[in-house]
Structure 1
Amino acid sequence: MESLLSLAFDNLSSYDGIKIKKGLKQVEGLLAQICLSSPRPSSRQTPADPLGIQSSSESQRPPRKVLADLSSDPAFREFFKLQDGFEWNIAQRLLPTLDWLVARGGDGQYDLLIVNALDLIQGVLLLHPPSKVLFSRTMHMNLLLDLIEPVNCPAVQSATIITLVVALLDCPQNTRVFERLDGLLTITSLFKDPDTVREVKFRLTEFLYFYLTPETPSIPKASSSNQGGNGNNNGLLQRSPSKLVGAFGAGGGKRDRSVSESSGAVLSVETKKHYVDRYLPGVVDLLVKDLDTYKPFGGILS
């Protein structure tokens, strides 16, 4: 696994679009192998197909693993252990690549690579939630907020909004950074913009629904017992979010980029409703009413 990651990282760090595309494909292939089961060696006969009759495409497509099964999967355990350190952490390698692609924006070819990189970041954060600590850093949160700006194409905006949800999920410290960087202003301004396409407005509405749900006070932490017991302190998760943010400081820009450290404090739904109401007066009550009526998140606001 290390050799494959090494090849992928070499390609991702190049300044060649073709090599970057290859690196993204290599990372995608690795994640796919972790998330997909091996083809069953037994008979083709299954309960869903008692006569063994299935299309060639169905027979060649390995089934997805159930999330609960991943913890006992040796490949996933090895992957998770590697992600705990700086050297092999995929999210940390994808973010500089994404930043470079954004600098080359305005080209459809690079837009496709940006969407691909965002999709992979989503996957890595879901498979290795502790990597979300990277988005407690101002520069990385600002990168996502920049990608939501109207100058970007709808596909990039939609993929970024989904990535933002994943980065904030169960991470109050990341949400506080998002708020301090005027993330709500960015989201609501795009929502009110008459030029924003329907697909993006749908994603923005989903984000607001998500933002108005109760927060879970959990912070990704490293396991106290690393496999191998080498006791090294160089792992990604050995540092707290506040230390990460303080170490890298803030840069200049049109938003308030003065955040030096993030608070993991959990805010109430009422407080967040007040924040949203600043930018979308009268809309927040309709959003909460929809949440209560349609219960898209299992009715947790009821």
Structure 2
Amino acid sequence: MDALLSLAFDNISSREALKIRKGLRQIEGLLAQICLAQSKPRSPKKRAQAEHDGQRGHAKGLSDLREDAAFREFFRLQEGFQCNVASRLLSTLERLLGFPPSSQNDLVILSTLDLIQGLLILHPPSRALFSREDYLNILLDLLDSANPPAVQSASLLVLMTAMLENPRNMRTFESIDGLLTVTSLYKTRSTSRDVRLRAMEFLYLYLMPEVGSQKASSAPNAIGLQRSPSKLAALSGHARTHSRDSGNAMDLDEDDTGIRSMEEKQKALAQFLDNVPELVHGLREGGMLNASGG
């Protein structure tokens, strides 16, 4: 696994888009091997039929992943700077922002964002990377109106995942005018409907009661975040896993100090948005505050 990651890192560190795409596919393939349980048809005929139908495997449950040796090894490797995939992908994303604008570059950016979101779910401690202003600023830059709606939407998804159960990330987000950026995107008439809905999801998440990272116990399920905003409450209450291997550990400080109340966050958001009471009402009507313990 170390060798495959090293090869992928070499590719995504390239200045050539083709090599970057190759590296992204290598990382995606590794994650697929970890997260998918391979089906094993009994006969060659059934195996051929399964391949023809595209039935290569099914997603493992989170409880299965925690007991899977490959996943445990992958999780252990993520605790060190050398093999932490999320930090490498963020560096790649920053480099891609310097490439000339093109539809092909947008596709590579989308692939990178998708992988980052998945990694933040598989390895929740990597979310602590977003307590750094430079990493959060990369996502905020991608919300610029010059970027296509698909990139803006994917960036908001990563931003939501990075904020889950990480009050420190929230405070960094606030300190670099993240609320101004997201609310401006939400209010701008030229913003697409899908992006506006995604921005509203983020604002709902922002307003919910904060849960300290140390109170969580296992990795949440990303699919809920992508499919339905009504799942945000359940996601923020999910637990997380922790690695006990301290060798070559990253300094992913998960200090829970600085938790703000809902009232404080409503006041902060009200500086940029007039309909904060309506958003809070929507949270209560949807039962999300009750689901999260608010």
Indicate which of 275, 281, 294 corresponds to 2:268. Answer: 275
The Cα RMSD (Å) is 2.4
Q: Secondary structure at the match of 2:276?
A: helix
**Contact residue 128 and residue 252 of structure 2 kept, 8 A:** no
- Find the residue that maps to 1:63 and give its secondary structure: strand
Asked if structure 1 preserves the Cα contact closer than 8 Å seen for 2:79 and 2:243, the reply is: no
Equivalent AA in structure 2 for residue 185 of structure 1: L
- Which segments of structure 1 move beyond 6 Å, counting only runs of 4 or more? none
What is the Cα deviation at residue 105 of structure 1?
A: 4.7
Instruction: Give the length in aligned residue pairs.
Output: 266
**Which residues in structure 2 correspond to 1:217-296 (within 5 Å)?**
217-219=212-214, 225-226=244-245, 232=247, 234-236=248-250, 238=251, 240=253, 264-281=257-274, 283-295=275-287
Deviation at 1:103, TM superposition (A): 1.1
1:96-245 equivalences in 2 (<5 Å)? 96-219=91-214, 225-226=244-245, 232=247, 234-236=248-250, 238=251, 240=253
Residue 213 of structure 1, CA deviation: 0.8
Task: Give the letter for the 2:195 counterpart.
Answer: V
Provide the secondary structure at the position in 2 that maps to 1:37. Answer: strand
Question: What TM-score does the superposition give when structure 1 sets the normalisation length?
Answer: 0.81
Secondary structure, aligned partner of 2:67:
coil
Structure richer in helix, relative to its length: 2
Percent of pairs identical after alignment?
47
> Does structure 2 retain, via aligned residues, the 8 Å contact 1:148–1:157?
yes
Return the offset for 1:194: 0.7
Change (3 A) 1:32 1:239: closer
Counterpart amino acid of residue 94 in structure 2: D
Work out which of the residue numbers 71, 76, 83 in structure 1 matches 2:71: 76
Matches within 5 A, 1:86-97: 86-97=81-92
> TM-score under structure 2 normalisation?
0.84
- 1:245-269 Cα shifts (integer Å, max 9, x gaps): xxxxxxxxxxxxxxxxxx8411111
Q: How far apart, CA to CA, are the structure 2 residues paired with 1:188 and 1:4?
A: 41
Which consecutive residues of structure 1, in runs of 5 or more, have no partner in the other structure? 45-53, 243-262
Q: Which amino acid aligns with 1:9?
A: F
